[in-house]
A and B are shown apart, each in its own frame.
Chain A
Amino acid sequence: MPIVLKCHAGLGPTVTGTALVAADNFSARYDLNRLEGTFSRPAHKLFGQSYLDKILVLQTAKGGVASAWMLREMTARGMAPKAIIFDRTNTILAQGAAFAEMTMVDRFEDGDPTTLIRTGDEVRIEPAKGLVTILNRD
């Protein structure tokens, strides 16, 4: 049986993809080289890694309000993550996901998703139901 995690109802369509996980935070402006599709802030735990087409799993949203525009702009250029899972998002990233029609969920019943999901896991997110399923583990 795959592992099913319950969260708050989220934003965007149902998606399946590969998780990229860190016990760290997220801002599109502070942390990313959006031209190359990599984490570019040296202090970030995912520094140097590509986020393209990944389901990012991070603790909280940080930084400025620019991410609200940036998720859509990144999506338009085909240089975006597939979805973002937060332990607890802030308003900006939720607004940005709504604007970009990107999948985003947070507030898990079983705790911090960065400890529940591992990098490389195949994950399905069903935002309307508030469900995240880890497909490759029992």
Chain B
Amino acid sequence: MRLTDEEKAMLAGEAGPARQWAIKHQIAVGDFFDAPDFVPVGQAHIMADTESLGEAGVVWLEELAQLPAADRKVRIPTITDPRGLDFDSYKRLKQTDTMAGLEARAIAAFEALGVLMTNTCINYQTILPPVKGEHLAMGDTGVVIYSNSVAGARSNFEGGPSALSAGLTGRTPRYGYHLDAHRAGTRLFELKHQPRDFADWGALGGIVGKATNSYWGVPVITGLSAVPNSDELKHFGAALASFGSVALFHMPGVTPEAPLLTDAFQGRAIPPATPVTKADFDAFYAGYAAKGDKVDVVVFAAPQLSLVEMGQVADLLDGRRINAETSLIVTTSPEIKFAADRMGLTGRIETAGGIVASGVCFYQSYAREMAEANGWSRLLTNSAKLVNIIAGYGYKPTLASMQKCIDSAVAGRVL
């Protein structure tokens, strides 16, 4: 990689050992992906829940946090993805004091580095929305795909160590989705059946993601009968990234880099369209169906809920009581939690027997240990991303609409 004088100085250790480690890490990654040089970034977003960090990761962060302030502070706005647990709700979820202790240590270390503990995977809705053409170093695949596709910003999937590196150096290697050449559509999908709710949008993401199946694939979606809103695109993108490792999509007429279908393919030949039919949706749901099964836990998460979704959950629960044998968990960001508290949404959800957790996103929260401690197996959710992830943690997941999830939570079985 070509380095500027400032980058050479960081590599030589003149800006301290943290920045020296960071730029060495970034050069190793940049070389691997043939990056020609670095590009300055406007924000970094770090995925670093303690289940992923483990003791080894926390100790490593604490070592960085011991450095003098001038050597350890991040240089650009650097924010965080959901944490491993919520100190206000972890006991109700049967997470342990050991987990909470590790979490507190990680938070202290990040704060010493100057990181803003936003603890959210919906920062594009709640913190500082990305801007078209803005280069970013975002963690969380759902954040990256939304930033790239809906906002037209430019980020690769940046894992925790790489996002922290970007925070420390203020830049990231210029490869992948920072480059125009990678942003052209590679596949075309035409909707023959319209998504009706968030679960359907996630299912569509899963269908397109499975078919695309590559970080380097860019699906283009046509045939929508209406412009989707931010929450619908959030569920679609999160599932697309989860099932397909996809980081960018275009919707001609909706997303900013594709006013027209030809723009989505940057003027190149347009491939034949793959239809997405009602039968594809039916088959997707059938893969997770469990009608009549006892429901152990209903989860609204992945991504965290917007204020509008919080209101929808509260409306559906009003005057009802969740079954005594079923738990219902809602996760959102700290900012939305404050708003939901203020507006009475949290109280309405918890009066019905639900738990509202803040700054977490369920699957990043010791999901295996929670399942064992609570005796959970059958999980019902309207998040296609979550059904994709959570089977690896020993759960049996089922996908259904928010309405059906809540009706099932009240009944105690999958309706």
Interface members, chain A 23-49 (any B CB < 8 Å): 25, 29-33, 40-43
Q: Does B78 sit at the interface, judged by CB under 8 A?
A: no
- Asked if residues B28 and A65 are in contact (CB atoms below 8 Å), the reply is no
The interface size of chain B toward A, counting residues with CB under 8 Å, comes to 46
Closest to B364 in A: A66
- Asked if residues B159 and A76 are in contact (CB atoms below 8 Å), the reply is no
- Asked if residues B57 and A72 are in contact (CB atoms below 8 Å), the reply is yes
- Asked if residues A69 and B57 are in contact (CB atoms below 8 Å), the reply is yes
Most chain-B CB neighbours within 10 Å: which of A30, A64, A98?
Answer: A64
A61-B215, A65-B141, A91-B33 known; A73-B57 Cβ under 8 A: yes
The CA-CA distance from A99 to B159 in the complex, in Å, is: 10
A31, chain B: closest CB distance, angstroms = 6
- Asked if residues B33 and A72 are in contact (CB atoms below 8 Å), the reply is no
**Of B60, B176, B368, B393, which one neighbours A91 at CB under 8 angstroms?**
B176
Which residues from chain B contact A92 at a C-beta distance below 8 Å?
157, 159
- Asked if residues B53 and A73 are in contact (CB atoms below 8 Å), the reply is yes
The CA-CA distance from A18 to B33 in the complex, in Å, is: 26
- Asked if residues B53 and A69 are in contact (CB atoms below 8 Å), the reply is yes
Interface members, chain A 63-91 (any B CB < 8 Å): 63-70, 72-73, 76-77, 88-91
Which residues from chain B contact A65 at a C-beta distance below 8 Å?
47, 81, 139-141, 157-160
- Asked if residues B389 and A30 are in contact (CB atoms below 8 Å), the reply is yes
Which residues from chain B contact A40 at a C-beta distance below 8 Å?
392-394
Q: Does A9 sit at the interface, judged by CB under 8 A?
A: yes
Q: Does B377 sit at the interface, judged by CB under 8 A?
A: no
Which residues from chain A contact B244 at a C-beta distance below 8 Å?
62
The CA-CA distance from A68 to B57 in the complex, in Å, is: 11
Please give me the 9 A-B residue pairs with the lowest Cβ-Cβ distance, nearest first.
Answer: A68-B159, A73-B54, A90-B215, A76-B56, A41-B392, A66-B52, A99-B161, A69-B52, A98-B28
- Asked if residues A9 and B32 are in contact (CB atoms below 8 Å), the reply is yes
Interfacial residues, chain A to chain B (CB-CB below 8 A): 8-11, 25, 29-33, 40-43, 60-70, 72-73, 76-77, 88-92, 94-96, 98-99
Q: Does B95 sit at the interface, judged by CB under 8 A?
A: no
**Of B29, B54, B159, B216, which one neighbours A67 at CB under 8 angstroms?**
B159
The CA-CA distance from A99 to B47 in the complex, in Å, is: 14
A61-B245, A77-B54 known; A43-B25 Cβ under 8 A: no
Most chain-B CB neighbours within 10 Å: which of A68, A72, A76, A96?
Answer: A68
**Of A41, A68, A91, A94, which one neighbours B160 at CB under 8 angstroms?**
A68
The CA-CA distance from A125 to B25 in the complex, in Å, is: 21
The CA-CA distance from A92 to B28 in the complex, in Å, is: 13
A85, chain B: closest CB distance, angstroms = 14
Chain A binding site: helix, strand, loop or mixed by DSSP?
A: mixed
Closest to A87 in B: B214
Which residues from chain B contact A94 at a C-beta distance below 8 Å?
29, 32-33
Most chain-B CB neighbours within 10 Å: which of A42, A70, A95?
Answer: A95
The CA-CA distance from A62 to B141 in the complex, in Å, is: 10
The CA-CA distance from A59 to B393 in the complex, in Å, is: 22
Which residues from chain B contact A73 at a C-beta distance below 8 Å?
52-57
Interface members, chain B 17-54 (any A CB < 8 Å): 25, 28-29, 31-33, 47-49, 51-54
Q: Does B125 sit at the interface, judged by CB under 8 A?
A: no
Extra inter-chain contacts (7) besides given A66-B52, A69-B47, A69-B54, CB under 8 Å: A40-B394, A63-B242, A63-B245, A72-B60, A73-B52, A88-B216, A99-B162
- Asked if residues B141 and A91 are in contact (CB atoms below 8 Å), the reply is no
- What are 20 sample pairs from A and B whose C-beta atoms fall under 8 A apart? A8-B32, A29-B389, A30-B388, A31-B392, A33-B368, A60-B213, A63-B389, A66-B49, A66-B160, A72-B57, A77-B54, A88-B215, A91-B156, A91-B175, A94-B29, A95-B29, A95-B159, A96-B161, A99-B159, A99-B162
Q: Does B391 sit at the interface, judged by CB under 8 A?
A: yes
A127, chain B: closest CB distance, angstroms = 9
- Asked if residues B215 and A69 are in contact (CB atoms below 8 Å), the reply is no
B379, chain A: closest CB distance, angstroms = 14
Closest to B50 in A: A69
The CA-CA distance from A90 to B212 in the complex, in Å, is: 14
A11-B32, A29-B52, A66-B47 known; A98-B25 Cβ under 8 A: yes
